[in-house]
Structure 1
Amino acid sequence: METSTFVYDGDCAFCTRCAEFIARRIPTDARVVPWQVTDLDRLGLTEAECDAAVQWVGLDGTRAAGPDAIAALLAGSSLPWRIAGAGLRFAPVRAAAWPAYRWVARNRHRMPGGTAACSLPREEQERRLGPSGG
């Protein structure tokens, strides 16, 4: 692996919008990719992990999920973003970030840019929409 990788749910419009924000606004050398078109085995990730939360796989193979993955992504960016990432790693903020992340993940279909498919578990998406998710 030549670079770190940040993996998101490409079937979720809200998640995709967030990834587009990263691409436009956060300078990073990390690959930001949807898990649906990524070799998860090479990264040591499972579909279930990627469906549950964003994932980070560092150059050294370190892994993080959810807000910890976001903090890892920000740690490799420019100074203002590194400061934000450090804030996410601060114990009290991290303790609050996880419940907030889980709430957003459960309600991403209600977020700006979200769609009804975002709220469906992977198995239900495939049953209704087919294996490709649409």
Structure 2
Amino acid sequence: MRTRPVLVYDGDCGFCTTSAGVVERRLRPDCDIVPRQFADLASLGVTPDRAAHEVLWVTPTGTVYGGARAVAKVLLRAGGGWAPLGALLMLPPARWLAPLVYRLVADNRHRLPGATAACAVRPPAAGSPGAPGR
């Protein structure tokens, strides 16, 4: 049984890898930080399509938060001056705007510093969380 949360990110994306490194070195949340390509997604209760679509925060009890909510959970877990920012992202109106900002960044990560061709996000498969019509 896991005792620490797990942050799952896209290890093929230079922007995501750089961001995960900043989280690990500067925020230092008490969690495991794993690229999706090396994570046991099935044991985390996460589909490969979802892990390819957004950053994920998986609690020790198996609750999965994605995208902006995952970012908020990382900030809360980091504590210190980061926790209030994480709490703010969980409250309206930031809670309503954060997913839009997250998706804007995620959809354009191939244009951001450190990006590679692998950073281009492919649309989620039909029927998966985040797919059109869901």
Q: Which runs of 4+ in 1 moved over 2 A?
A: none
Q: 1 CA distance for matches of 2:59 and 2:113?
A: 29
Letter of the structure 2 residue corresponding to residue 36 of structure 1: Q
**What are the within-5 Å matches in structure 2 for residues 123-134 of structure 1?**
none
Q: 2 CA distance for matches of 1:68 and 1:91?
A: 13
Which position in structure 2 is the counterpart of 1:94? 95
Q: 2 CA distance for matches of 1:113 and 1:52?
A: 19
Q: 2 CA distance for matches of 1:89 and 1:79?
A: 17
Which position in structure 2 is the counterpart of 1:82? 83
Percentage identity across aligned positions?
42
The verdict on how the C-alpha distance between 1:35 and 1:77 changes in structure 2, with shifts beyond 3 A counting, is same
**What are the within-5 Å matches in structure 2 for residues 1-134 of structure 1?**
1-119=2-120, 121=122
Structure 1: gaps spanning 5 or more residues: 123-134
Structure 2: gaps spanning 5 or more residues: 124-134
Shift of 1:119: 1.0
More helix by share: 1
Q: 2 CA distance for matches of 1:69 and 1:121?
A: 20
Shift of 1:121: 2.5
Secondary structure of the equivalent of 1:76? helix
Pairwise CA RMSD of aligned residues? 1.5
TM-score, normalised to structure 2, is 0.86
Q: 2 CA distance for matches of 1:87 and 1:7?
A: 22
Shift of 1:49: 0.5
* Most deviating of 23-32 and 113-122: 113-122
Shift of 1:18: 0.2
**CA contact 2:53–2:121 (8 Å) conserved in 1:** no
TM-score, normalised to structure 1, is 0.86
